[in-house]
Structure 1
């Protein structure tokens, strides 16, 4: 369904995108830019740039077209399948790949690749994420387990709920530690001041992360994080909360950080019980090249 807004400017001045963002709070600056580029925002019935300086008396018409339904297209994305049987697939997701389609990422997701690889994926309560029982962020690399049938999905989801899976991550974080080990037990919810972020929030859901410091460098450290729960952005939020944000993290880290393609976070080890046989399965994925090179650079720095 199309949604329309009509704004009459009465004294306000500033860039077109800022004025609209202030007045229509459910539109992000990114969405506004997209609407302007598609000529769905007109000023006095004319297309303008986002940088247009709004004048008093301007009439801004905003048309928000209906969201296109998501279609799940099989795509050959040359997935790195680490293990597969009749019930499960373990895949090593590269950094930069989104797990399932969304409005901002309609294709080239892990799900698109899985649909090309196999016709057997478990149904999901959300049709756009068949087989998916847990996620890792777009710029996080590493291991995911995928259910090929409903019985397997139920088993894997129960294991996640009972916290009997093994999920170990490696991360490069800012600053050095005074302790070798620690447990971060702090609830996570939506950041009330920034809707794109999660944050430690007393009203949030319980979240527990165990960490071990493996190496320390100049201004950075390599840590192993073990998830007890699986909240959105959990490691990124928890490490920032204790003063050690992830290196390269564009959302939670400082601007002055290690160059890369997002946060240096890798889901290295994944363990779970096979849904049919109940055998314990455990897998390890090597660090991506960019992660390895950055560690080598940090080690070299320590020698000088």
Structure 2
């Protein structure tokens, strides 16, 4: 690729050009997989400028053998084609770099004896859509490839209805509304997402359920499903989710680690049987306790 209208560090340029995190790009550079003007470089601080020619070779991922693990999971529904799981806060959905144990996938491999769809490869078997590590609630898992393909198509066409519940900072003025703001990679911090002009369409509907002195309990529905969508959108309108240290405050008065965001309802047409499926999952105990604290406080 050719550098255009840029002057600065090569890792910064490549992170933006490849839409990858800087840490990912830095590992590629340090591994000797980048050439600038036909010269191999290994320093991530190497300076490039407009007109420079860069060659990047992204190595194939290292094969990973995932281990089935006997981890207790809440299976809300299961048949031969799919399952609906109520994921707890704090559990990673699928393995990633340096994190190959104690994920939902490890638990699913054990529970379903490896009978999961292979559409997403060995790292994400059965995973149709994801929830962030610290977001609890419902997600669909495909056990068969045919079901996975049809569910993915339904997700793409916005035919899977997902409802979330959150406690947000501050008091929302409007009782309901639509947040229509495009989301893409953050221009500076590549580990974050942000509302950006050239981002992908992102639409979130919100409805206020309860208002407190400094907080709002809201119900949210996704039309699109961008990475961190609700967290980014609520922060964008000035009401980040409580406990979300990435998009909101570093600390909160309740001492919770991880956002108070719960995927409480999901509805979809069964990909094989054609019947309408609707599931609900109660708020986690720590979430309910904070709600009760706020309610008691408002009565004083």
TM-score with structure 2 setting the length? 0.78
**Structure 1 SS opposite 2:286:** helix
Aligned position for 2:226: 231
Please report how far the alpha carbon of residue 86 of structure 1 lies from its aligned counterpart in structure 2 after TM superposition: 1.2
Aligned position for 1:123: 118
**Structure 1 SS opposite 2:115:** coil
CA contact (8 A) 2:245 2:251 kept: no
Structure 1 unaligned blocks of 5 or more: 1-20, 32-65
Please report how far the alpha carbon of residue 27 of structure 1 lies from its aligned counterpart in structure 2 after TM superposition: 4.4
* Partner Cα distance (1:27, 1:181) in 2: 39
What's the CA shift string for 1:261-294, capped at 9, x where partnerless? 3100000001111111110000000110000000
Establish whether residue 107 from structure 1 lines up as the match of residue 107 from structure 2.
no
Within 5 Å, give how 1:144-159 maps onto structure 2: 144-159=139-154
Within 5 Å, give how 1:157-236 maps onto structure 2: 157-236=152-231
CA contact (8 A) 1:70 1:102 kept: no
Please report how far the alpha carbon of residue 70 of structure 1 lies from its aligned counterpart in structure 2 after TM superposition: 2.9
Aligned position for 1:78: 72
TM-score with structure 1 setting the length? 0.77
For the aligned residue pairs, the C-alpha RMSD in angstroms reads: 1.9
What's the CA shift string for 1:162-187, capped at 9, x where partnerless? 11111000000011111110101111
CA contact (8 A) 1:133 1:145 kept: yes
**Structure 1 SS opposite 2:234:** helix
Please report how far the alpha carbon of residue 141 of structure 1 lies from its aligned counterpart in structure 2 after TM superposition: 0.3
**Structure 2 SS opposite 1:254:** coil
* Partner Cα distance (1:220, 1:260) in 2: 15
- Which has the greater radius of gyration? 1
Structure 2 unaligned blocks of 5 or more: 1-10, 16-21, 28-59
Aligned position for 1:136: 131
